[in-house]
Amino acid sequence: MIVEQAEWSAQTGWDRPLGFRVPEPALVFVFGERTLLASDAMQRLAHTFSDAVVVGCSTAGNIMGTAVSDDTVGATAIQFETGSVSISHTHLANPEDSAKAGVRLAAGLRSDGLRHVLVLSEGIRVNGSALVAGLADSLPAGVLVTGGLAADGTKFEQTSVIRGGGGEDHTATAIGIYGKDVHIGHGCQGGWEPFGPDLTITKSDGNVLHSLDGQRALDRYRLLLGVKSVDLPSSGLSFPLELRAPGTTRPVVRTLLAIDPDAGSVTFAGDMPVGARVRFMKSSVDSLLSGARDAAADVWLANGRSRDLALLISCVGRRQLLGDRTQHEIEHVSTVLGEETMLTGFYSYGEISPYADSVECGLHNQTMTITTISEH
């Protein structure tokens, strides 16, 4: 397996010749700010790698090596020795279509020899947990899913997923990875802790939360944030919810995507079932950095072999809290995995990975998730 990376900016174009080390890639990851995915960068990339599967999405910051950037497009080309990939796209009509969209994605992948599935999805008008459930339940037994939801910085207006050489909204893409010599690793950790009283979801509709303990959900957030509530939804990223659904013991983290001032509701990346118990969460820079390091350690402990490439998908809320120390969480991952592991990825509106102590796949928020790909 050979990996090549290049970066594009409006000022300099591509920083190195495309296809120099990897003339015939099977797969090319492309991440960047939404408007940049409609730039000349994509035209040149599509022309150079016309026979490759080119996938990617808009971001809240793209990761290339240990750097994080908002004004570049990063491309990572992968050429397997014996491995291969297939791709499946589907239109996401609305959040209520998410579970069926997951089923459609699975149906579009050939199942024979399937080792792993990466999914990249529209990041706002989607119920991420329903999408993952529909996809995971329709795949062959033992096939895990990782990936993430596209982002739009902290604007929360429109996201895009690459299809046909350019960015497209209302789209989800699944990439199937095949080959007996291809090895996939994964890690997922957060670094957040709950605080304050337990609250009960008293009214919701899928991933739209209407009320907590009978009070409008948006009012609860406004009370918590005080003067910062004028910056919702972005200011709410620093206070996700820990959710414990009825009949489950495993808590999950949910972060908000949008608000409806008239209805007083808050839209989250995944399901918010009635009767679930929630608490607000908080974190610190040191806790988030420890979470990133622990996610990398999960990969290392589970799969000690060398890793050619690591796909890092972290949350926009983590970046907002980390501020000018954002790059440090990438450096923590690099230190654990080793300098020989090339890094790519993006800051997202939701992360998809198996849970830290399980092979059950789910939607996460406010986590650092890592998918490693190698061939031996």
One domain for residues 172 and 297: yes
One domain for residues 206 and 294: no
Tokens of 157: 């207006």
One domain for residues 297 and 178: yes
One domain for residues 174 and 30: yes
Tell me the C-alpha distance between 277 and 255, whole Å. Answer: 15
One domain for residues 145 and 26: yes
The reported pLDDT for the residue numbered 305 is 58
One domain for residues 104 and 120: yes
One domain for residues 57 and 114: yes
Tokens of 24: 């015939």
Place of tokens 């008008």: 125
- Domain total of the chain: 2
One domain for residues 40 and 119: yes
Q: Indicate the pLDDT class of residue 303, thresholds 50, 70 and 90.
A: low
Place of tokens 């802790």: 193
Q: Indicate the pLDDT class of residue 124, thresholds 50, 70 and 90.
A: very high
Residue that finishes a domain, picked among 239, 254, 282: 282
Q: 79: domain range?
A: 2-189+286-375
Residue that finishes a domain, picked among 282, 301, 330: 282
Residue that finishes a domain, picked among 232, 256, 282: 282
One domain for residues 216 and 89: no
Q: Calculate mean pLDDT across residues 250-274.
A: 94
Other beta carbons less than 10 A from residue 139's beta carbon: 22
pTM for this model (two decimals): 0.94
The residue type found at 248 is T
One domain for residues 370 and 308: yes
One domain for residues 62 and 134: yes
Percent over 90 (pLDDT), the chain: 82
Tokens of 325: 């120390």
Among 187, 164, 167, smallest CA distance to 303 is for 187
The reported pLDDT for the residue numbered 300 is 83
The reported pLDDT for the residue numbered 301 is 78
Q: Indicate the pLDDT class of residue 337, thresholds 50, 70 and 90.
A: very high
One domain for residues 206 and 323: no
Among 63, 145, 124, smallest CA distance to 318 is for 63
